[in-house]
Amino acid sequence: EFALQKNTALGFADLGFLATVGPRTIHVYDKLCVVVLSTESGKIRDSNKIMLMSELKDLNIQHAIYFQFGIIDNT
């Protein structure tokens, strides 16, 4: 029997609950790390970057990293 539902983020209350229940093993995933690369030349406004970063924040992914490389040759 499981004390908590699988594949959910653990909050402070969940950790307290697990400490009370005292399971022998807890299987967890590492925190997700996301890198957003922006390759625009500056001539066109980069609306995708702000939308992606906002969505990552809404998903509680706080360790998103943003890099701007300018124009990158894709050949």
**What's the CA gap between 50 and 48, in Å, rounded?**
6
* Residues 49/38, Cβ–Cβ less than 8 Å: yes
The predicted pLDDT at position 74 comes to: 61
Is a pLDDT exceeding 80 seen at residue 64?
Answer: no
Per the listing, tokens 């996301």 go with: 34
For the segment 16-47, what is each residue's pLDDT rounded down to a tens digit? Answer: 999 999 888 888 887 777 877 777 666 777 78
What confidence category does residue 3 fall into, taking pLDDT thresholds of 50, 70 and 90? Answer: confident
The predicted pLDDT at position 13 comes to: 94
Domain ranges in the chain are: 1-29, 31-75
**What's the CA gap between 34 and 1, in Å, rounded?**
33
